[in-house]
Structure 1
Amino acid sequence: MLSKEKIARINELANKSKSEGLTPAEAKEQTQLRGEYLRTFRKSMANTIENMTIIDPEGNDVTPDRVKKIKENNKRLH
């Protein structure tokens, strides 16, 4: 998870971009922070999906095979 300070800075730069524009240095910082945020979000989302099990109303495990294979590979690595 990104720190509160970094998220606040992302929001600060977004607001400044809309109101008055960013300097080249601020635009570069914004791009870097957004990239870091997206990498963190994607990693978290992948971890959530890879650790879920889907059960249908009849109680059957209907987790997609792709997710099951990822779980198996993760177990082997740990």
Structure 2
Amino acid sequence: MLSREKIKRINELAKKSKESNLSIKEKEEQKKLREEYLKSFRKNFRSQLDSIEIVD
């Protein structure tokens, strides 16, 4: 799971990109953070799917 600070930073960059343009450095940071977030999300989701037991 990502830290609250990283999630907060993702949201800050998203808000700033809607209001104005991001610098190249900020775009790279945003891309890196999003990739890290998606990796974490996929890992957690896969874990949930693996723990599901179907009972008939």
Give the alignment's TM-score, normalised by structure 2: 0.96
Matches within 5 A, 1:1-40: 1-40=1-40
Question: Structure 2, unaligned stretches of length 5 or more?
Answer: none
Larger radius of gyration: 1
Q: Distance in 2 between matches of 1:52 and 1:37?
A: 23
Root-mean-square deviation (CA), in Å?
Answer: 0.6
Query: Number of residues paired by the alignment?
Result: 56
Q: Distance in 2 between matches of 1:53 and 1:25?
A: 45
User: Which is helix-richer, 1 or 2?
Assistant: 2
Structure showing greater relative contact order (alpha-carbon pairs closer than 8 Å, 6 or more residues apart): 2
Matches within 5 A, 1:33-52: 33-52=33-52
Give the alignment's TM-score, normalised by structure 1: 0.70
1:54 CA drift (Å): 1.7
Question: Structure 1, unaligned stretches of length 5 or more?
Answer: 61-78
Q: Distance in 1 between matches of 2:42 and 2:4?
A: 18
- Identical amino acids, percent of aligned pairs: 50
Match of 1:63 in 2: none
Runs of 4+ with deviation above 2 angstroms:
none
